[in-house]
């Protein structure tokens, strides 16, 4: 198997379809007030339901107006694969440590050979030397790469500095967020997705070793690994949990004012989601978002969106799973749901 084919498989873009096999609860909506008492929410609920039903995908949605608490959910308590949206929680954990004086964003951290990814990383493209990448970056740069470009190598570097996935899960739970679990580094996700029993130790791992191991995986083993991956309960969040985390961030309850502004400022520069939540919103709308994708199966986006004319701020999370609709179709669905939410809540002073 050549390297290009393995790159595609590692991102879930080759091999047999990997349809999620978890039981899917019936879609339900939850609102802050009964729909009959809030015709705007009732109309938004109906509009989202029509969009989701016509998409052919499994869809989870959370929308909350932070100032009033008015909200709408689709499949609020179903755990969805987060994809790279989990990197928001990683960023919160890092910035909380900075707030407490336990770390510094200007601290230089080396990029090791074991950090280099075969794909999904600008850092790995720029520093591909398998023995010694020869780079030291400030933690702030790793944070920016993780959130703006969804860089996988940068993510695992940050995770190594903050106590790993378990520490991130514990931190979000300390914020009162239930229904979100971060179980693996990105490299461990790659390992499970392609069906490797184990990775070489970090100290002896390098790009050449990874490519050699992963290129030798038979197609049948890859397909079975993907089925197991999509059936796993690991690295999932419910729409309700993601909205809870975004609410904490957006209300300034997760971080100090400086930490909050750092996080939102970086997320507003995100470059991977122009066709998702941002797509149909008016030009210049402040959107602090983070996408998540696994090949053609998972297409997600989560965001804090500032409304015009003092109308407040929205937390939006849209999760989709299923290979049947194309990625482009799921991106259109996300964009249409975000537009519907924006249009409902954009008028100031509505209660």
SS (H, E, C) 25-67: CCCCCCCCCCHHHCHHHHHHHHHHHHHHHHHCCEEEEEEEECC
Give the global pTM.
0.90
What's the sign of the alpha-carbon dihedral 192, 298, 81, 58? negative
pLDDT at 20: 37
| pLDDT for the residue numbered 11 | 46
What stretch of H or E contains 81?
strand 80-81
Residue among 140, 94, 99 nearest 255 (CA): 99
Cα–Cα distance measured from residue 166 to residue 184, given in angstroms and rounded to the nearest whole number? 8
- pLDDT computed for residue 120 by the predictor: 78
pLDDT at 294: 84
CB neighbourhood size of 29 (10 A):
19
Q: Which CATH architecture has domain 3-345?
A: 3-Layer(aba) Sandwich (3.40)
Per DSSP bridges, beta strands 135-138 and 71-74 are unpaired
* Domain residue ranges of the chain, discontinuous segments joined by +: 3-345
Report long-range pairs for 279-287 (Cβ below 8 Å, ≥24 apart): 279/331, 279/332, 279/334, 279/335, 279/338, 279/339, 280/335, 280/336, 280/338, 280/339, 280/342, 281/305, 281/338, 281/339, 281/342, 282/308, 285/342
Question: Dihedrals φ, ψ of 109, to 5°?
Answer: -125, 130
SS3 label, residue 111: strand
At 25 the pLDDT is: 38
pLDDT tens track, the chain, 351 positions: 344 334 444 444 333 333 333 333 333 444 455 444 789 999 999 999 999 999 999 999 999 999 999 999 999 999 999 999 999 999 999 999 999 999 999 999 999 999 988 877 888 888 876 677 878 999 999 999 999 999 999 999 999 999 999 999 999 999 999 999 999 999 999 999 999 989 999 988 888 888 889 889 999 999 999 999 989 999 999 999 999 999 999 999 999 999 999 999 999 999 999 999 999 999 999 999 999 998 778 999 999 999 999 999 999 999 999 877 899 999 999 999 999 999 999 975 444
């Amino acid at each position: 198997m050549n390297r290009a084919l393995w790159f595609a498989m590692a991102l879930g873009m080759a091999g047999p379809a990997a349809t999620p096999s978890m039981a899917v609860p019936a879609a339900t909506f939850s609102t802050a007030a009964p729909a009959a008492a809030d015709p705007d929410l009732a109309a938004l609920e109906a509009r989202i339901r029509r969009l989701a039903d016509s998409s052919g995908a499994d869809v989870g949605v959370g929308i909350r107006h932070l100032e009033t608490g008015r909200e709408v959910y689709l499949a609020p308590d179903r755990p969805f694969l987060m994809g790279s949206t989990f990197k928001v929680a990683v960023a919160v954990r890092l910035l909380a440590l900075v707030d407490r004086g336990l770390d510094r964003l200007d601290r230089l951290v080396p990029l090791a050979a074991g950090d280099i990814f075969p794909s999904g990383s600008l850092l790995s493209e720029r520093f591909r030397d398998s023995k010694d990448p020869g780079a030291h970056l400030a933690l702030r740069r790793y944070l920016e790469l993780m959130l703006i470009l969804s860089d996988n190598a940068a993510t695992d570097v940050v995770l190594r500095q903050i106590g790993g996935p378990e520490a991130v899960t514990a931190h979000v739970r300390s914020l009162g967020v239930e229904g979100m679990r971060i179980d693996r580094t990105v490299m461990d996700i790659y390992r499970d997705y392609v069906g490797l029993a184990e990775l070489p130790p970090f100290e002896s791992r390098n790009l050449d070793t990874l490519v050699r191991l992963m290129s030798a995986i038979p197609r049948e083993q890859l397909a079975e690994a993907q089925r197991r991956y999509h059936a796993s309960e690991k690295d999932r969040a419910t729409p309700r949990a993601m909205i809870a985390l975004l609410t904490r961030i957006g209300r300034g309850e997760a971080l100090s004012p400086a930490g909050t502004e750092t996080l939102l400022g970086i997320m507003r520069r995100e470059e991977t989601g122009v066709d998702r939540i941002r797509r149909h919103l008016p030009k210049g709308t402040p959107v602090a978002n983070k996408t998540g994708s696994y090949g053609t199966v998972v297409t997600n986006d989560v965001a804090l969106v500032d409304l015009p004319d003092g109308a407040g701020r929205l937390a939006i999370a849209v999760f989709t799973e299923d290979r049947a609709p194309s990625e482009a179709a799921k991106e259109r669905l996300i964009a249409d749901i975000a537009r519907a939410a924006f249009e409902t809540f954009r008028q100031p002073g509505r209660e």
